[in-house]
Amino acid sequence: MTILVKNKHTLQVDDFVFKCCIGKYGSTINKKEGDKKTPKGIFEIENLYFRKDRIKKPITSLKCIEIKKKMGWCDDINFPKKYNKLIKANDNLRHEKLTRKDNKYNLLIPIKYNFKKTIPGRGSCIFIHLTKNYKPTAGCIALKEKDFLILLKIIRKNSKIKIF
């Protein structure tokens, strides 16, 4: 099963079509850290991360990981071994906090872009996460919570995402 991100407003899985938003400057095959673009291509997806303090564990076949206070996702190009990986957050390296004050990361699925042979500076922290207003993202794909919960019920561990 493939999740299709057809354009900057449309995500489709089988017969389900959802409104979404992507990076402020659209999609690209030449992703760079901080360019506010969503990477084009076909990628695997990771586990579901969720805020147990804000939302009950959703129904999904994905492995569910509870987001803890010190969890971060490294976007620091000076730490190649940790770049674009889940880390225990500390002040020595730049990272995206997973426990945000807003609700964007109450549910998130990392997209396995720049994952296996990670190249620092080619982009990190590319997630499917929540939105309330469909404002453009920094490069992620965002959905309303009710649509995200439907998506979780129909995708599988081996689902891929294709971004046009």
Q: Where are the domains of the chain?
A: 2-163
Rounded to 5°, angle at Cα 67 from 61 and 70: 155
Dist CA 150 CA 100 (whole Å): 23
Q: Which two tokens stand for residue 8?
A: 């900057």
User: Domain 2-163, what fold?
Assistant: L,D-transpeptidase catalytic domain-like (2.40.440)
The pLDDT score that the predictor gives to residue 15 is 95
Q: Which two tokens stand for residue 128?
A: 């499917």
Indicate the pTM of the whole model: 0.96
Instruction: Please say if the pLDDT value at position 91 is more than 90.
Output: no
Q: Per-residue pLDDT tens for 54-86?
A: 999 999 999 999 999 999 999 999 999 999 999
What's the first-to-final CA gap in the chain, in angstroms?
A: 16
What SS3 class is residue 125? coil
| Core vs surface per residue 69-107: b (16+ CB within 10 A) or e | eebbbbbbbebeebbbebbebeeebebbebbeeeebbbb
Q: How confident is the model at residue 35 (pLDDT cuts 50, 70, 90)?
A: very high
The pLDDT score that the predictor gives to residue 132 is 97
Q: Which residues pair with 162 in a beta bridge?
A: 4, 42
